[in-house]
Amino acid sequence: MSQIDEVARYSFAGGEALLYKEIGKALEYILNQTKIFCVHITTNATIIPDESLIPFMQHPKFYLAISDYGNLRQQAALFEFCYKHSIKYHFHEQQEWIPMEWVSHGRSKDELKKQFSNCTAGKNCHTVYDGRLYHCGQMAAMAAAGMIQPNQFNSLDITGEGDIFEFFAQDYQEACDMCNFGIDGLPLVPAGEQENGKLERSPFIVVPRSELEKRKAWEKELTEGNKWLEQQYLSYKAKYERLNPMRELLRRFKR
Ligand code: SF4
């Protein structure tokens, strides 16, 4: 943390983070970091959190991000849990996923540059895994699965060695060749439980009666929040592109 100025949002992503036995300890640590402004756990509503997690989840910085897997009973039970314990949550209905295969697509360096520049996950979802900061969750997962080897280009040693400038100055990543983020025009896959390629998601969603009005206000805030995130992304992207001449100089200097 000593090398970081601030983190706008820290996410425990999945798989299903609530299955992790040490999630309470991890939450406590992250919530106590003053440089982190917002913390959330993403869940698919298949698990009601353990009671020991309630005090952490009631923290003003925390909210639960609930994915719409389409099981109305499970969703209702989790909403009730959140409502009863005053835990903030956001329900992501109508999510769509990018189809992913993790196979080499044989993309050229220029294609990889374009993909890396287009990819929001590569800019907003930096992920820590096994003592290293990766550009995105996909690369961290690929490293965990042994599909890529961690190196100075795809990840940064967070114990303090390594050059954070060089890490963020990368303009493409070989790992993107096995990923479909940042590729335009792919048909998206509706999120939810699938069996034999068939989506099991209910056509309805659960909305707590008591929250109908609050929900409208929250959605408005969320829309504004998303606009803010989009602006951050665009300004980051512009700054990133402004660094291109410097990257080129750095590369020449190193040759
Ligand atoms: S691996 Fe995928 S998610 Fe990560 S930066 Fe490349 S395109 Fe984006």
Instruction: Dump pLDDT digits (tens) for 20-32.
Output: 999 999 999 999 9
Give yes or no for residue 89 CB within 6 A of ligand 1: no
- 49-63, 65-79, 93-107, 194-208: range with lowest mean pLDDT: 194-208
Q: Is the pLDDT of residue 255 over 70?
A: no
Q: Measured from the CA of 181, which atom of ligand 1 is nearest?
A: 7
For 134-161, the pLDDT digits (tens) are 999 999 999 999 999 999 889 998 877 6
**Closest ligand 1 atom, residue 125 Cα:** 3
Task: Give CA separation, 228 vs 6, 215, 223, 234, 236, in Å.
Answer: 16, 19, 9, 10, 12
Q: Residue 53: which of 31, 80, 73, 37 has the closest Cα?
A: 31
The response to whether residue 62 sits with its C-beta less than 6 Å from ligand 1 reads: no
Cα of 66 from ligand 1 centre, angstroms: 23
% of the chain residues with pLDDT over 90:
47
Q: Which H or E run includes 79?
A: helix 72-84
Atom 6 (ligand 1) nearest CA: 176
Three-state secondary structure readout of 8-31 = CCEEECCCCHHHCCCHHHHHHHHH
State the amino acid at position 240 in one-letter form. Y
DSSP output for 178-238: G--TT-TTPPPEE-S-EETTEE---S-----GGGHHHHHHHHHHHHHHHHHHHHHHHHHHH
Mean pLDDT, residues 206-233 taken together: 77
CA of 220 to the centre of ligand 1 (A): 29
Q: Which atom of ligand 1 is nearest to the CA of 178?
A: 1
CB of 79 closer than 6 angstroms to any ligand 1 atom:
no
165 confidence band (pLDDT: 50, 70, 90): confident
What is residue 50's predicted lDDT score, i.e. its pLDDT? Answer: 96
> What is the average pLDDT score of the chain?
87
Distance CA 87, CA 58 (A): 5
CA of 123 to the centre of ligand 1 (A): 9
Q: Is 49 exposed, middle or buried (0-12, 13-18, 19+ CB in 10 A)?
A: buried
> Using a 6 Å cutoff on CB, does residue 71 contact ligand 1?
no
Cβ–Cβ < 8 Å for 52, 28: no
Is the Cβ atom of 122 under 6 angstroms away from ligand 1?
Answer: yes
Cβ-based neighbours of 243, under 8 Å, separated by 6 or more: 169
